[in-house]
Chains A and B, each alone.
Chain A
């Protein structure tokens, strides 16, 4: 096992890493480009996105016309907004970071090789 000093150093590094992830998801996310990403650009190629009363519609011929709504579309965090409220991407991101850390950290801690004495 690590000496206590090594543990403290590791804890400091891990805490810093987490703070950066929280700042990126909670703050930098407000400055992210809202243009379609590479895949969406390809699936939208050939279509025009038209604003209508019923929301955005695709006109033309493109792959994205085959896209169906996710069964999770009703999630309170769908599309990185809390309950669909604009301007909540940061909080949604922070929740996402914490959930991701809990799931991944829990799985990896469970899977790890146990050191002597555990």
Chain B
């Protein structure tokens, strides 16, 4: 078929890149994942962190607009998974990225509507939790000082970018519409996203570093585990 290409500002998966069953299947995964995230996010949201999470979401939307060059003729942009996981935690963070993707898809026609499930799985679930896993593993280093925190943010972001790209490769392997061999897609996706991951790492480290310098109490990773046993309301028995 003749495809009129979407403008170069499109940043996420368009409709039609995977077949309908695959799109529906990942749509269901996205719904279940976000439902769990909504439940688990509550414990990390209070009068201070809720506005922070709203602003982090708006910030990710803004920075995702900034495509930076990686190779002649190719660019990359922030995905934001590690950034949100470090600043507001993985459950709230998943919701942050999902909201960005929903606004982009419906308002800006960036990322297809039937592709929303795959885009949410790749960036809001897989990317966020890949970044969260690395950041959590490196937390002792992150707590030791500024250099450790910046290194943690950089590595977590680099990994989140590459793993999110790998999730697309998986979707293409399951139900790709065709047009390129799986080996080609895998090699190009991983290779390009290693480069993009360096940019993602630098942006994430700079942002986390700036927040930590001004308000270390608003960096979820430095606060440590959520405190699910905290009294939920003054009237409730502990």
Q: Hey, which bits of chain A sit against chain B, CB under 8 A?
A: 1-2, 10, 13-14, 16-18, 20-22, 24-25, 28-29, 31-46, 49, 54-58, 61-75, 77-80, 89, 92-93, 95-101, 103-109, 111-117
Q: Which residues of B contact A31 (CB under 8 A)?
A: 66
Q: What are 11 A-B pairs with beta-carbon distances under 8 A?
A: A33-B67, A36-B73, A40-B8, A54-B4, A70-B109, A70-B111, A72-B113, A73-B6, A108-B51, A112-B49, A116-B233
Shortest C-beta distance, A4 to chain B (Å), equals 14
Q: Which residues of B contact A78 (CB under 8 A)?
A: 108-109
A10 to B42, CA, bound (A): 21
Q: Could you tell me which residues of chain B, from 1 to 54, have a CB within 8 Å of some CB in chain A?
A: 1-17, 38, 41-43, 45-54
Q: Are B2 and A108 in touch, CB under 8 angstroms?
A: no
Among candidates A10, A36, A99, A114, residue contacting B75 with C-beta atoms closer than 8 Å: A36
Q: Hey, which bits of chain B sit against chain A, CB under 8 A?
A: 1-17, 38, 41-43, 45-55, 57-59, 61-63, 65-70, 73-77, 92, 95-96, 99-100, 102-113, 165, 168, 172, 176-180, 184-185, 188-189, 192-193, 195-196, 214-215, 218, 232-234
Among candidates A56, A68, A107, residue contacting B112 with C-beta atoms closer than 8 Å: A68
Which residue of chain B has its CB nearest to the CB of A12? Answer: B214
Among candidates A14, A33, A36, A114, residue contacting B55 with C-beta atoms closer than 8 Å: A14
Q: Are A43 and B59 in touch, CB under 8 angstroms?
A: no
Q: Which residues of A contact B52 (CB under 8 A)?
A: 14
Shortest C-beta distance, B51 to chain A (Å), equals 6
Q: Which residues of A contact B68 (CB under 8 A)?
A: 32-33
| Known A10-B51, A70-B6, A111-B42; 14 more pairs at CB < 8 Å | A20-B62, A33-B68, A33-B75, A34-B8, A39-B12, A41-B74, A66-B3, A70-B111, A78-B108, A80-B9, A104-B58, A108-B51, A112-B47, A116-B233
Q: Are B62 and A46 in touch, CB under 8 angstroms?
A: no
Which residue of chain A has its CB nearest to the CB of B100? Answer: A100
Shortest C-beta distance, A115 to chain B (Å), equals 5
A35-B74, A64-B5, A112-B50 known; A100+B179 contact, CB < 8 A: no
A45 to B185, CA, bound (A): 9
A62-B179, A72-B106 known; A13+B214 contact, CB < 8 A: yes
Q: Are B65 and A80 in touch, CB under 8 angstroms?
A: yes
Shortest C-beta distance, B82 to chain A (Å), equals 16
Which residue of chain B has its CB nearest to the CB of A84? Answer: B7
